[in-house]
């Protein structure tokens, strides 16, 4: 695939394509599984340059009607990824959970749910490179960032992010225009497990404010005390790199990936919500000068920014 888009020298090789479909019924019938992303691993040469073997999982944004329906299912549901410790307090948006865990046995491309495909392939690669230093970088745009975060949490919760020597493999999520995915219990657990997240958001992008317009991380405390419904409040995770752009002639650009990438190069419209770190100047150093094919610039930016987040220990 990388060769076909002119990226044969990217330093990564695709090892598996990933397919998924939410368990959502539409008037025209249930949507079959669709291609949602891929798993890739760094080459020997790229690994030597990075100082480790990097496993990348990249997800696209929303395309199908059933995916849009899943995006709007704002009810929370327990993730329960670890059967030995289901953690009922850790809840995620039911539509994203459905897309991640639903199994369409009638589709000729799939071998189980999106989750099973991903866990199987990442585990296989970790076993293959068990004697090397390894990192896991997850990237996505919009809905894809939700899948990336669910996978990052899943790997860490199950303890699958371990190398052959028992050391924890760092997991980094690089999100473009991502919505909230889970409640405060989900956020707290991701923080406990060390899942690192860098969120690139346009402050005018409504998708980044969903779900949880009213019940979110800003409304769970009242008068210095937790409100009774605090466990039902959605919460963003990680460090936010905020962009500020809006083009009146084309409102759709507020969620456009190309617009996000273009604004990463404009310091006047960018603000980093983290004290003590000049994160933007470091991120743009990685992003600037990237003369990549348009369809692949964000994936490569995500890979490099993931390296940055791990290096900073954010």
What HEC string does 119-156 produce? HHHHHHHHHHCCCCCEEEEEEEECHHHHHHHHHHHHHH
> Which is catalytic among the residues 42, 47, 98, 142?
142
- Residues contacting residue 243 through CB under 8 Å, at least 6 positions apart: 200, 201, 202, 203, 260, 263, 264, 269, 270
> Which is catalytic among the residues 23, 33, 146, 255?
255
142 as an active site residue: the answer is yes
Q: What is the pLDDT of residues 170-213, one digit of tens each?
A: 999 999 999 999 999 999 999 999 999 999 998 888 889 888 87
3 state SS of 189: helix
Cis check: omega of the bond before 288, within 30 degrees of 0: no
Nearest to 193 by CA among 219, 159, 221: 159
Cα separation, 307 vs 84, whole angstroms: 32
Domains along the sequence of the chain with CATH: 12-312 (3.40.50.1820)
CB 12 within 8 A of CB 40: yes
As given in the structure block, the two tokens for residue 9 are 């020298």
205 as an active site residue: the answer is yes
The residue written with tokens 């348009």 in the block is: 294
Largest Cα–Cα separation, the chain: 57
User: Between β-strands 76-78 and 91-93, what pairing exists: parallel, antiparallel or unpaired?
Assistant: antiparallel
CB 35 within 8 A of CB 144: no
> Which is catalytic among the residues 23, 103, 163, 205?
205
Q: Structure pTM? A: 0.79
Cα separation, 120 vs 44, whole angstroms: 22
Nearest to 201 by CA among 193, 210, 192: 210
255 as an active site residue: the answer is yes
Q: What is the pLDDT of residues 98-130, one digit of tens each?
A: 999 987 655 555 568 999 999 999 999 999 999
Task: Using CB atoms within 10 Å of the CB of residue 214, give its burial: 0 to 12 exposed, 13 to 18 middle, 19+ buried.
Answer: exposed
Q: Give the torsion through C-alpha atoms of 12, 16, 22, 28, to 10 deg.
A: 110
Cα separation, 129 vs 162, whole angstroms: 11
With the C-alpha atoms ordered 270, 273, 275, 280, is the resulting torsion angle positive or negative? Answer: negative
Task: Using CB atoms within 10 Å of the CB of residue 242, give its burial: 0 to 12 exposed, 13 to 18 middle, 19+ buried.
Answer: middle
- pLDDT tens digits for the chain (314 residues)? 878 877 788 899 999 999 987 766 555 555 555 889 999 999 999 999 999 999 999 999 876 656 655 656 668 999 999 999 999 999 999 989 999 998 765 555 556 899 999 999 999 999 999 999 999 999 999 999 999 999 999 999 999 999 888 899 999 999 999 999 999 999 999 999 999 999 999 888 888 988 887 777 776 554 445 554 567 789 999 999 988 877 545 666 888 888 887 777 665 555 555 433 444 454 444 444 433 333 344 444 554 444 444 444 44
């Amino acid at each position: 695939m990388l060769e076909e888009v002119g990226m044969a020298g990217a330093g990564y090789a695709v090892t598996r394509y990933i397919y998924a479909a939410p368990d959502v019924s539409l008037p025209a019938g249930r949507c079959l599984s669709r291609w949602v992303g891929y798993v890739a691993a760094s080459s020997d040469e790229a690994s030597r340059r990075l100082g480790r073997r990097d496993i990348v999982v990249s997800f696209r944004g929303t395309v199908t009607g059933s995916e849009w329906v899943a995006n709007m299912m704002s009810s929370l549901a327990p993730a329960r990824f670890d059967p030995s410790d289901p953690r009922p307090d850790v809840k995620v948006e039911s539509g994203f959970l459905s897309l991640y865990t639903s199994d369409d046995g009638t589709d000729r491309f799939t071998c189980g749910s999106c989750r099973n495909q991903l866990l199987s392939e990442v585990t296989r690669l970790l076993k293959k490179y068990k004697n090397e230093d390894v990192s896991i970088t997850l990237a996505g745009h919009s809905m894809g960032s939700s899948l990336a975060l669910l996978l990052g949490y899943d790997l860490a919760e199950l303890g699958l992010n371990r190398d052959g020597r028992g050391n924890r493999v760092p997991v980094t999520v690089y999100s473009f225009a991502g919505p909230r995915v889970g409640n405060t219990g989900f956020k707290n657990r991701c923080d406990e497990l060390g899942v690192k997240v860098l969120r690139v958001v346009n402050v005018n992008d409504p998708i980044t404010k969903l779900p949880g317009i009213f019940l979110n991380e800003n409304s769970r405390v009242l008068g210095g005390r937790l409100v009774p419904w605090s466990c039902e409040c959605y919460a963003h995770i990680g460090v936010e790199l905020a962009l500020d752009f809006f083009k009146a002639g084309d409102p759709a650009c507020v969620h456009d990936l190309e617009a996000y990438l273009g604004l990463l190069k404009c310091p006047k419209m960018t603000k980093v919500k983290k004290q003590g770190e000049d994160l933007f100047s470091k991120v743009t150093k990685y992003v600037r000068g990237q003369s990549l094919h348009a369809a692949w610039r964000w994936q490569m930016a995500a890979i490099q920014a993931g390296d940055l987040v791990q290096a900073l220990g954010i």
